[in-house]
Amino acid sequence: MKILYAIQATGNGHISRAREIIPHLQQFGALDLFVSGDNAQMTLPYPIKYQSKGFSIYYDKTGGLDYLKTFKNTKLKRLMNEVREFPIKDYDLIINDFEFISAYAARLKSKEIIGFGHQVAFHSLDTPRPKQKSYFGEMILKHYAPCQYGLGLHFDEFDSFIKKPIIRQEIRNLDAKNLGHHTIYLGHYEDSEVIKHLKRVKDAEFHLFSKTIKKPERYKNIKIFPINNELYLRSLAGCEGLITGAGFEAPAEAIFLGKKVMVIPIKGQYEQLCNAKAMKAIGVTVVKKISEKFSLRLSDWLQHAKPLQINYPNNTGQMIEDIFANKNLARIAPAENIFFKLGLKLW
């Protein structure tokens, strides 16, 4: 059996999850990998057959989506040509983790695909949403990478086809301790914006992971590290708490390790607002943005927040078996799709 696993790489979460899933997929046939996007700092220790810039997301310095830069760096005609030329018919099974090109190549060539990952969970109306829904946000979640079948992941099993998070073995193997520092991974903010608030909290030690530096530095009570998997795991294992965006994988890993967690959603990113709603319900501290009063909110969290611990089961192998057995998957009805219409016009 020829299998294609297509992975979105506009952040590290999808890549992190893929590292755990790939060895299981390899047991079922000849596996090819397609990675789309260039915003991930984490890499895959496996050969990648296809790679594309895809859609890459950019942020401004204050934690919001930079729509102008994202639009400028997105070459729609190139994307549509990649969709048309992708050899999707070569594969017996296509598993898609929110990847645009393979999803639309499959739609164009009438091939069925299986969506697998966090975004699939939003095909259920029971998955938490913020009080104010976003039409555009819902459209992205449901139509960016259309699929016919799906297996979703979320912080809880909100529906029959939604499973709890995949915790990679590297995290499960960590010797978690509390060495007193707090780990910070806020890739959507510039370092300077975060540091100016951290340095005001002088009685705490912080490990800040940066997209821009090449080697570790120290500034007052802040150790600054380049984004590196080994360094991050070491810091996470020994931290008292994690401060990060309202993504999925990083908060889930910290919760599994029994750390207290604060999340700051990316401004304008609807999926993260949905995640924040789900996390708040289980005791995660949610801060809307880093503002002038952030250091006061941070001090309060340092003193009063309680650690969380949820023992997410190690059932990745069972999930992959379910995919190949077409078991516990959602049947996702096709819908009118603006992205597909746009593509037809460009062709």
What string of DSSP letters covers 195-209?
A: HHHHTT-TT-EEEEE
pLDDT at 214 (0 to 100): 92
- Token readout for 316 is 């990745």
The secondary element (H helix, E strand) that includes residue 82 is helix 76-85
pLDDT at 169 (0 to 100): 94
Written as one letter, the residue type at 248 is: F
Architecture of domain 169-304: 3-Layer(aba) Sandwich (3.40)
- Token readout for 141 is 């979640």
For the residues of 97-138, what is the DSSP string, one character each?
ES-HHHHHHHHHTT---EEEETGGGGGSTTS---SS--HHHH
Taking each helix axis as running N to C, give the angle between helix 270-281 and helix 135-143, from 0 to 180 degrees, rounded to the nearest 10: 90
Q: Per-domain residue ranges for the chain?
A: 2-166+314-346, 169-304
Model pLDDT for residues 165-220, shown as the tens digit of each residue:
999 999 999 999 999 999 999 988 999 999 999 999 989 999 999 989 999 999 99
pTM: 0.90
Give the CATH fold of the 2-166+314-346 domain.
Answer: Rossmann fold (3.40.50)
- Distance separating alpha carbons of residues 35 and 53, to the nearest angstrom: 9
- Token readout for 160 is 């029959």
pLDDT at 39 (0 to 100): 65
pLDDT at 62 (0 to 100): 56
Phi/psi region, residue 326 (left: phi>0; alpha: psi -120 to 50; beta: rest), is left
pLDDT at 184 (0 to 100): 98
- Token readout for 188 is 């959507």
- Give pairs for 206-213: CB < 8 Å, separation 24+: 206/181, 206/182, 207/181, 207/182, 207/183, 207/235, 207/239, 208/184, 209/183, 209/184, 209/185, 209/235, 211/41, 211/187
Q: How many other β-carbons are positioned within 10 Å of the β-carbon of residue 54?
A: 23
Nearest to 13 by CA among 48, 53, 51, 40: 40
Structure-token match 């590196």, residue found: 228
Run means of pLDDT, 10 residues per run, the chain, 347 residues: 94 87 97 86 87 72 60 74 95 96 94 96 96 91 93 97 96 97 94 94 95 93 94 97 96 97 94 97 95 94 93 96 94 63 47
Q: In sequence order, what are the residues at sequence separation of 6 or more whose Cβ sits closer than 8 angstroms to the Cβ of residue 228?
A: none
